[in-house]
Structure 1
Amino acid sequence: MSDPQDSEVFELPNFELEQGATLRPAKLVYKTYGTLNADRSNAIVYPTAYGARHSDNEWLIGPRRALNPEKYFIIVPNMFGNGLSSSPSNTPPPHDRGNFPHITVRDNVRAQHRLVTERFGIERLELVTGWSMGGLQTYQWAVSYPALVKRALPFCGSSTTSPHNIVFLEGLEATLTADAGWNGGFYEQQPRKGLRAFSRVYAGWGFSQAFYWEKLHRQLGFESLEDFLVGFWEKDFGSHDANDLLAMLWTWKHADIGTTPGSDGDVRRALGSIRARTVAVPAEKDLYFPPEDEKWASQFIPNGDVRVIPGVWGHLAGLGINPPDTDFLDGVLRELLASSL
């Protein structure tokens, strides 16, 4: 996939990854919204989620939203592996396709930090926020660069990928690699059967049980479950390269702020190092990142709080497709941005 016309590229020559490989160069694709003010004090970083691109974040940005581009300078960096930034599908040999190296959440955040500081000269961020894997990156920003991040709002995310979440991700990986055409990631054409199975496994987790009981897929324009599985889930993941999906999955599976240098493997110690005013916003029935996990983490953050999105839309309460959920999230963002520090 080529870089979209409305984005920019930040190149990082000889970018060494935590797992030891070096990308020459790594390419970080990003888009900005709004104007950086004279003293560079109005910047917000809003990373992408699993399988998402910068345009997928735009539903939460606008003049009537808390993330107002008339007031803030909003930077949306694309996560490595998403098909825009360096990914298996767009990286030349020796790191193409099945040879693409493993990239951690910290690798992503370190590259984003260089973008923020080297390209824009920003020394303080008003806010870092993000959904799902964007939430994982939000926590990592707050831990890795505590003096830079004033406020943090991870929504439908977590600081560390839980064992139950890892089990889910292992299942997704198995669906793709079991396709007869997989060939170790050097397939001649996309493994369509694997992608279809991947989509249907994912469908059981994105929304809650109550969402399906109440047949709320009809609100999205799908009358039957089969229509929903095909028209919503298969349409989405079928548009991705399988290697890209697995690259991002590895990043997700190995997210753990406790492994940040200086934390000695202790998640509590990492959480305690956060200086940002932090409000975690989980969804009430999220099957990936349940509110209980965020409430546990919040007690170790010196200035941490939790606000739960009510309702039955589960993890996808953070996707911007249910107006009450969007309004709730926007309200919490507005409140946090208006708070004094």
Structure 2
Amino acid sequence: MADYDVFELGDVVLQSGMTLRDAKLVYTTYGSLNRRRDNAILFPTFYGGQHMQNEPMIGAGMALDPAAYFIIVPNMFGNGLSSSPSNTPPPYDRARFPPVTLYDNVMCQHRLVTEQFGVERLALVTGFSMGAQQTFHWGALFPDMVERILPWCGSAKTSRHNFVFLEGVKTALTADDAWRGGWYDTPPTKGLRALARVYSGWVVSQAFYREQSYLQLGAASLEDFLVMQEGRRLNSDANNLLAMLWSWQQGDISANPLYNGDFEKALGAISAKAIVMPSQTDLYFPPEDNEWEVRHMPHAEFRPIPSIWGHMAGSPGVNPVDTAFIDSALKELLVS
């Protein structure tokens, strides 16, 4: 049996001007909504992840405890569960899947929260990486609805350097002859392996490799670690990865009719209590970017994760020490 539910969105007109027809938002929940409907937490997914990958942050005794909170995990468009290139019927399948922004994602999530559950206030929105980007969007787009946010290892706007890194990832994948412009009959495995190798040079820090921290993940050697990373991507659909990558590249909380590109205005509108948590060694979302953002947010604290695990410091459950650090901050914020 499926461990998720499907929210039928109907036809959704996207920021691009295209229509995502018969759109589906797949989600799962943990815990129960109380009578006052004020114990809801939204926890969006991250790049390449589905709701199952968020679960290490949810459990008894943790900040996101289903005994106390109603935790909603919406799957991002493009992740293979919600509407994606791999599960959308022709003519909008595969390479013809319409481009979806994080704004589009959040607006559809808002419909889920309000229409399906009747929730008017969220106690917390939180997330890792692209989940953090969605968290920032929630704070800016619905400031009167969101009480607290804790984005970790993500930014309110994708930097130029981050954009260029993703161009390298995209090029590695699409250089495979089997790619065929997205109309492949068999997976472009050479491209997926290349993507994983490029990603591995950025997802952790230089110190992570210097200190051979990959041995803690069960790898027997550096090459073994890289092959393990390849294995993670070989199970992914290439078009899905590129759809989410495009959403990542366009990430900007001000790129919408509410703020019309005024980034500082969008940051200033985030009235939620916030703890913004970059990894101090993240090469995708460096702490300097978040430090600047926090200076323009009225109720935000800048609190880096002291880790050599780079972006992977935020991966739910991967490094117990970093997971505990994030969980502790979540507990602190929820009682504030």
Give the TM-score category using the shorter length.
over 0.9
1:309 to 280, 305, 308: 305
Per-residue deviation, 1:185: 0.5
Cross-structure match for 1:146? 143
Separation in 2, partners of 1:262, 1:192: 41
Separation in 2, partners of 1:317, 1:74: 22
Cross-structure match for 1:178? 175
Separation in 1, partners of 2:193, 2:321: 31
Contact 1:208 1:285 in 2 (8 A): yes
Cross-structure match for 2:267? 271
Contact 1:146 1:273 in 2 (8 A): yes
- SS at 2:254's partner residue? helix
Cross-structure match for 2:14? 17
Which structure 2 residues correspond to residues 183-194 of structure 1 after superposition, within 5 A?
A: 183-194=180-191
Contact 1:129 1:153 in 2 (8 A): yes
Which structure 2 residues correspond to residues 2-81 of structure 1 after superposition, within 5 A?
A: 5-81=2-78
Amino acid at match of 2:216: Q
Contact 1:260 1:270 in 2 (8 A): no
Contact 1:77 1:112 in 2 (8 A): yes
Q: Which runs of 4+ in 1 moved over 4 A?
A: none
Residues 1:241 and 2:233 aligned together? no
Separation in 2, partners of 1:94, 1:146: 37
Separation in 2, partners of 1:182, 1:63: 44
Per-residue deviation, 1:14: 1.1
Residues 1:328 and 2:322 aligned together? no
Deviations 1:231-285 (A, max 9, x none): 2x11111110000000000000001112132323121111001111111011110
Residues 1:221 and 2:218 aligned together? yes
Separation in 1, partners of 2:253, 2:3: 32
- SS at 1:235's partner residue? helix
Cross-structure match for 2:122? 125
Cross-structure match for 2:279? 283
Deviations 1:185-238 (A, max 9, x none): 00111101100100000000111000000000001110111110112x111111
Amino acid at match of 2:223: E
Deviations 1:137-162 (A, max 9, x none): 00001111111100000000100000
- SS at 2:26's partner residue? strand
Separation in 2, partners of 1:250, 1:31: 25
Separation in 2, partners of 1:23, 1:270: 26
- SS at 1:263's partner residue? coil
Cross-structure match for 2:79? 82
Contact 1:89 1:243 in 2 (8 A): yes
2:162 to 155, 162, 165: 165
Amino acid at match of 2:261: G
Deviations 1:58-108 (A, max 9, x none): 000001100010000000000000000000000001110010010000000
- SS at 1:52's partner residue? coil
- SS at 2:201's partner residue? helix
Residues 1:253 and 2:249 aligned together? yes
Amino acid at match of 1:189: T
Contact 1:81 1:248 in 2 (8 A): yes
- SS at 2:80's partner residue? coil
- SS at 1:14's partner residue? strand
Deviations 1:9-66 (A, max 9, x none): 0011111111011122110000000000001000000000000000000000001100
Unaligned runs of at least 5 residues, structure 2: none
- SS at 1:157's partner residue? coil
- Give the superposed CA RMSD: 0.8
- SS at 2:235's partner residue? coil
Amino acid at match of 2:197: R
Deviations 1:108-140 (A, max 9, x none): 000100000000000000000000000000000
Cross-structure match for 1:114? 111
1:262 to 249, 258, 261: 258
Per-residue deviation, 1:294: 0.6
Separation in 1, partners of 2:180, 2:327: 44
- SS at 1:265's partner residue? coil
Separation in 1, partners of 2:73, 2:172: 30
Residues 1:104 and 2:122 aligned together? no
Separation in 1, partners of 2:213, 2:70: 36
